[in-house]
């Protein structure tokens, strides 16, 4: 083998993600709220982009006359009649370097007139008042509230310091992560002082805080209720392992209590909180703003975007005068560069709008049974089926549906919710796995709580309903739904 260095010429094909294509893909996959933030940032960075206010649009439309309206209609018809490509790169408008070079030779006066008339979102209604951003309010942390209670309840400086250390070391669930010996060693404090400080912290609200395990947490809450000598406390103290395994007969025999006494004790224990920590701020509640809306109009389901809060942008026509004047070449080069970027953003956003609506319309057609009859009529659906229907690449459909939500007459769902694998029925048709899960939920809601159905029994019930499903598949779906196995669903 020749190992000498040398120069060799080789030809190969390689897919290159240009910055413009990357931006187009980014705009396509972001949610409506993320797009709103993106456009606000671009409005600050690109002087050629500006908001399109309703009053200015009305004046522009009045002054432009019918010629521009005809031109707008022509451009729109050309955009709608353009054949869709299956290749993902063709889903987004991509310009080559040759096209960019040719763009510099365009008549910028005509071009700016055109883009000024065709601002993104010009045909959308918008409320007069802009949506105000929610400003987070500073609230005291859970630790701050505990320390405030501590200073009210205790006036011994030595114990306060140890107790504050214990509070700072609490875990997310409100439990003490270290042992008493470990805390004493870390603080070089007497063991008795640490135990007293721990008792003080455990006396604070909420009940059960600073417990060392779940059993102590439950006992602290029962003690706060004045039930230290109750049957419930005895169950937690002496029969905790049997309680976790729902072995009620063993508990009853071991404690020598009646069925009614045990049932009452179990009911009381079920009211206790195994995770006593409460964060006062609650964090961000995670409100969902639907990106799309599906409404029934005259028996048909109509899809439209919920983007009224997205800033409507257009290209600022003021810079026409600078380009006409033929002034400083460096200044003109800067404007041309920003103009291309602004033009690409407007085109990418409009392409995103059309793509999202087309994809949701395809989903609504494929899952028409769900919209009319509910989850029981849901059909198996894959990304590839939607991609074939709208003549796009499967990865494009994945980007469109990822992290986006739709508001429907049956509730608000993530777009991914409508995609599901299938189970074959006895008549040869297929039903969505989500419909099978719904049927399982119905079967388990009717079961005898004292003798809950096993996975095998549920599979047999589903087979009687015409669904070919194994016990293992039932167990998998049950785990996905977060439902316990039969032995743990048993009630006394």
pLDDT tens digits for range 127-148: 444 445 555 555 678 788 888 8
Range in 29-33, 103-107, 198-202, 230-234 with the lowest mean pLDDT: 103-107
The DSSP bridge partners found for residue 304 are: 293
Output the pLDDT for position 29: 75
Which CATH number do you get for residue 200? 1.10.10.1330
Chain-wide mean pLDDT for the chain?
75
Asked, for residue 89, whether it belongs to a domain, the answer is: yes
Cα maximum dimension of the chain: 100
Q: Which is more confident, 102 or 394?
A: 394
Is pLDDT above 80 for 155? Answer: no
Output the pLDDT for position 304: 83
The token pair that represents 39 in the structure block? 């456009």
* Co-location of 163 and 118 in the same domain: no
Asked, for residue 432, whether it belongs to a domain, the answer is: yes
Is pLDDT above 50 for 123? Answer: no
Output the pLDDT for position 102: 41
Is pLDDT above 50 for 260? Answer: yes
- Which three-class secondary structure string do you get for 347-372? HHHHHHHHHHHHHHHHHHHHCHHHHH
Tens-place pLDDT, residues 388-405: 998 888 888 888 888 889
Output the pLDDT for position 284: 52
Query: Using 50, 70 and 90 to split pLDDT, how confident is the model at 53?
Result: low
Output the pLDDT for position 435: 83
Burial (0-12, 13-18, 19+ Cβ within 10 Å), 432: buried
- 310-316: average pLDDT: 76
Q: Which is more confident, 367 or 486?
A: 367
Alpha carbons 482 and 70: distance in angstroms, whole number:
57
Asked, for residue 98, whether it belongs to a domain, the answer is: yes
Using an 8 Å Cβ cutoff, are 227 and 261 in contact? no
* Co-location of 29 and 113 in the same domain: yes
* Co-location of 33 and 121 in the same domain: yes
Alpha carbons 460 and 486: distance in angstroms, whole number:
15
Asked, for residue 406, whether it belongs to a domain, the answer is: no
Is pLDDT above 80 for 271? Answer: yes
- 279-302: average pLDDT: 75
Is pLDDT above 70 for 103? Answer: no
- 428-456: average pLDDT: 83
Asked, for residue 266, whether it belongs to a domain, the answer is: no
- Taken in order 93, 99, 104, 107, the sign of the CA dihedral is negative
Is pLDDT above 50 for 73? Answer: no
Output the pLDDT for position 91: 47
Tens-place pLDDT, residues 203-249: 888 888 888 888 888 888 998 888 888 888 888 888 888 888 888 88
Range in 2-6, 201-205, 340-344, 453-457 with the lowest mean pLDDT: 2-6
Asked, for residue 327, whether it belongs to a domain, the answer is: yes
Output the pLDDT for position 54: 43
Contacts 24+ apart (CB under 8 A), 394-399: 395/88, 396/28, 396/88, 396/91, 396/355, 397/359, 399/25, 399/28, 399/29
Asked, for residue 57, whether it belongs to a domain, the answer is: yes
Is pLDDT above 50 for 13? Answer: yes
Give me the number of domains the chain comprises.
3
* Co-location of 157 and 70 in the same domain: no
Q: Which domain holds residue 465?
A: 422-489
Query: Using 50, 70 and 90 to split pLDDT, how confident is the model at 15?
Result: low
Output the pLDDT for position 90: 38
Asked, for residue 361, whether it belongs to a domain, the answer is: no
* Co-location of 175 and 117 in the same domain: no
Give the orientation angle of helix 19-29 with respect to helix 32-45, to 10 degrees.
Answer: 140
Output the pLDDT for position 88: 42
* Co-location of 70 and 159 in the same domain: no
Three-state SS at 474:
helix
Is pLDDT above 70 for 97? Answer: no
Q: Which is more confident, 101 or 307?
A: 307
């Amino acid at each position: 083998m020749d190992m000498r260095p040398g120069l060799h010429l080789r030809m190969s094909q390689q897919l290159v993600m240009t910055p413009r294509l990357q931006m187009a893909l980014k705009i396509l996959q972001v949610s409506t709220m993320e797009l709103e933030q993106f456009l606000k940032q671009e409005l600050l960075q690109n002087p050629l982009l500006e908001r399109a206010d309703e009053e200015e649009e009305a004046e522009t439309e009045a002054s432009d006359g019918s010629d521009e309206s005809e031109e707008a209609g022509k451009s729109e018809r050309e955009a709608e009649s353009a054949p869709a490509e299956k290749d993902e790169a063709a889903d987004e408008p991509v310009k080559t370097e040759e096209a960019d070079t040719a763009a510099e030779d365009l008549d910028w006066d005509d071009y700016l007139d055109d883009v000024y008339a065709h601002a993104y979102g010009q045909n959308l209604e918008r409320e007069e008042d802009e949506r105000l951003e929610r400003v987070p309010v500073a609230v005291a942390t859970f630790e701050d509230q505990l320390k405030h209670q501590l200073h009210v309840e205790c006036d011994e400086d030595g114990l306060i310091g140890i107790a504050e250390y214990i509070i700072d070391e609490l875990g997310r669930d409100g439990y003490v992560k270290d042992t008493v010996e470990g805390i004493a060693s870390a603080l070089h404090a007497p063991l008795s002082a640490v135990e007293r400080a721990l008792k003080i912290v455990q006396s604070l609200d909420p009940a059960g805080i600073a417990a060392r395990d779940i059993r102590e947490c439950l006992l602290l809450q029962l003690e706060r209720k004045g039930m230290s000598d109750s049957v419930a406390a005895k169950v937690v103290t002496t029969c905790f392992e049997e309680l976790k395994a729902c072995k009620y007969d063993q508990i009853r025999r071991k404690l020598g209590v009646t069925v009614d006494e045990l049932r009452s004790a179990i009911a009381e224990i079920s009211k206790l909180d195994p995770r006593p920590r409460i964060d006062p701020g609650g964090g961000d509640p995670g409100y969902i703003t639907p990106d799309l809306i599906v409404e029934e109009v005259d028996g048909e389901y109509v899809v439209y975007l919920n983007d009224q809060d997205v800033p409507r942008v257009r290209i600022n026509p003021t810079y026409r005068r600078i380009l006409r004047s033929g002034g400083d070449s460096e200044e003109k080069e800067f404007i041309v560069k920003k103009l291309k970027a602004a033009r690409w953003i407007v085109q990418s956003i409009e392409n995103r709008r059309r793509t999202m609506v087309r994809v949701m319309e395809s989903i609504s057609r494929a899952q028409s049974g769900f919209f009319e009859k509910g989850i029981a009529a849901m059909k198996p659906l894959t990304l590839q089926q939607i991609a074939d229907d709208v003549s796009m690449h499967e990865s494009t459909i994945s980007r469109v549906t990822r992290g986006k939500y739709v508001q429907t007459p049956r509730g608000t769902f993530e777009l991914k919710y409508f995609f599901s694998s299938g189970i074959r029925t006895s008549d040869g048709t297929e039903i969505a796995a989500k419909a099978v899960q719904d049927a399982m939920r119905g079967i388990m809601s009717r079961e005898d709580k004292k003798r809950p159905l096993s996975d095998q029994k549920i599979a047999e019930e589903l087979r009687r309903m015409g669904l070919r499903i194994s016990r293992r598949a039932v167990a998998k779906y049950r785990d996905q739904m977060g439902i316990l196995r039969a032995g743990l669903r048993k009630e006394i």
